[in-house]
């Protein structure tokens, strides 16, 4: 068990910007990396009494050096507020799990006693290049020596292989129905959250879209664009604090969530997946987080999982243990992961619905659970049963390679 009380508070998400948002225009100038960092950081500082209360900053980002020709993001944190000058700041990277790693650095710093208040932030601005070039940049989340052997759209190709394997073993129609149901639920949830990339989605029949037959001549063989998270720009921030930190910032415990367990796990990047029909590393990370928290999955009220693709969402339900192997598609098709289901997943849309600014995703997940547990989720608010006061976030980097799973407790 964690031997010291540690909390998260004062979360904030910018809009997840990209195709689907009415204000997005690829031909017009849009906010840059620094604007997103400043917006998110200032919003959290405003809730915790300002920069004077912060001991340390952490920023998660995957690929600004390619998408934005900008590295050295740790030194951008003082641009949020002059009060952050001369305070320690660290940039972390773990592909799409960069945001989760930023949270872990903050958590460990507070546990070590080197900080009482950490400003954790994740950011990515990706709508700067054409999709095919972006796919090449994102391929760096895998072993790049495999790039020439992979699909032009590298990561959709990787998870297309997983979708094929699932379909081959459990049935093509069965798998497609499950993935379409995941897409439908993601968009329905995104429509409840004003910062979501798919907030304005007005498609009349989401299942028909989700059941679109993949066409390898246009994209990849076993996924459609509806199965994929979108290219997104955005940032998320939250404060990670000790009990002393809560006193310093003048916020009560009932406005915070407690971190009670975590699992940070790495798999060998050079190896192919052990089993295409299992998120093996995700399973290990979740086991560690639940064991540290000393709870079972039945005590979870909600889950934020890394649904970079619909098949990843299906496989996550199995990795956590809500569905047996091969039964995830049925579990989702039966509505169990919806807002009113047995275990609501991704209540503001997840990566497919809310968006996937890669370096921000892990922080966004924590902010979403904080909003749910402090009754700040607005139209996306779900009921939190008194016998299920826990939430789980799962942030994945690469093809199930870097994993951060965190268990939170409602106060």
The pLDDT score that the predictor gives to residue 328 is: 98
The pLDDT score that the predictor gives to residue 132 is: 85
The pLDDT score that the predictor gives to residue 31 is: 96
pTM of whole model > 0.85? yes
The pLDDT score that the predictor gives to residue 172 is: 98
Per-position DSSP letters for 297-357, written without gaps between them:
GGGEEEEE---SBHHHHHHHHHHHTSS-TT-HHHHHHTTTTSTTSSS-B-TT-HHHHT---
Extents of the domains making up the chain = 6-130+231-254
The pLDDT score that the predictor gives to residue 340 is: 95
Classify residue 254 by burial, with Cβ atoms within 10 Å: 0-12, 13-18, 19+.
Answer: exposed
**164-355-126-408 Cα dihedral, nearest 10 degrees:** -100
Mean pLDDT, the chain cut into blocks of 10 residues (411 residues total): 94 98 93 98 98 98 98 98 98 98 98 98 97 92 91 94 98 98 98 98 97 96 97 98 98 98 98 97 98 98 98 98 98 98 98 98 99 98 97 98 98 96
- 6-130+231-254 fold: Peroxisomal Thiolase; Chain A, domain 1 (3.40.47)
| Terminal alpha carbon distance of the chain | 18
The pLDDT score that the predictor gives to residue 149 is: 86
The pLDDT score that the predictor gives to residue 301 is: 98
pLDDT per residue as tens digits for the range 178-212: 999 999 999 999 999 999 999 999 999 999 999 99
Residue 281 is encoded by which pair of tokens?
Answer: 């590393």
pLDDT per residue as tens digits for the range 357-395: 999 999 999 999 999 999 999 999 999 999 999 999 999
Q: What share of the chain is helix, strand, coil (3-state, %, to 5)?
A: 45, 20, 40
247 neighbors 7 (Cβ within 8 angstroms): no
Residues near 201 by beta carbon (within 8 Å), at least 6 away in sequence: 20, 187, 190, 191
400 neighbors 311 (Cβ within 8 angstroms): no
């Amino acid at each position: 068990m964690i031997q010291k009380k540690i909390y998260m508070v004062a979360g904030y998400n910018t809009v997840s910007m990209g195709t689907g948002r009415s204000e997005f225009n690829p031909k017009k100038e849009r906010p840059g990396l620094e604007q997103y960092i400043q917006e998110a950081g200032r919003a959290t500082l405003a809730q915790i009494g300002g920069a004077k209360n912060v001991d340390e900053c952490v920023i998660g980002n995957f690929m600004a050096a390619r998408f934005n020709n900008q590295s050295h993001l740790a030194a951008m944190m003082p641009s949020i507020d002059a009060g952050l000058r001369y305070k320690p700041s660290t940039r972390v990277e773990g592909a799409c799990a960069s945001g989760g790693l930023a949270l872990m650095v903050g958590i460990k710093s507070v546990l070590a006693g080197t900080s009482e208040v950490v400003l954790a932030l994740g950011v990515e601005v990706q709508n700067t290049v054409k999709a095919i070039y972006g796919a090449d940049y994102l391929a760096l989340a895998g072993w790049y020596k495999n790039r020439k052997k992979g699909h032009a759209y590298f990561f959709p190709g990787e998870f297309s292989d997983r979708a094929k394997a699932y379909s081959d073993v459990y049935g093509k129609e069965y798998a497609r129905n499950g993935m379409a149901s995941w897409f439908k639920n993601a968009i329905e949830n995104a429509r409840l959250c004003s910062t979501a990339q798919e907030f304005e989605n007005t498609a009349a029949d989401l299942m028909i879209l989700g059941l679109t037959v993949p066409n390898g001549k246009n994209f990849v063989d076993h996924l459609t664009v509806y199965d994929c998270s979108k290219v997104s720009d955005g940032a998320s921030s939250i404060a990670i604090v000790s009990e002393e930190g809560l006193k310093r910032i003048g916020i009560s415990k009932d406005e915070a969530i407690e971190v009670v367990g975590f699992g940070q796990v790495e798999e060998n990047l050079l190896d192919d997946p052990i089993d295409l029909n299992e998120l093996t590393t995700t399973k290990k990370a979740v086991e560690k987080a639940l064991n540290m928290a000393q709870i079972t999955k039945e005590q979870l009220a909600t889950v934020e999982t890394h649904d970079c693709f619909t098949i990843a969402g299906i496989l996550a339900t199995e990795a956590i243990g809500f569905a047996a192997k091969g039964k995830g598609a049925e579990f989702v098709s039966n509505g169990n992961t919806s807002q009113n289901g047995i275990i609501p997943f991704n209540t503001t849309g997840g990566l497919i619905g809310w968006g996937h600014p890669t370096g921000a995703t892990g922080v966004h997940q924590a902010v979403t659970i904080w909003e749910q547990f402090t009754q700040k989720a607005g139209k996306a608010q779900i009921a939190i049963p008194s016998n299920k006061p826990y939430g789980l976030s799962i942030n994945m980097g690469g093809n199930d390679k870097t994993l951060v799973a965190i268990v939170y407790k409602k106060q």
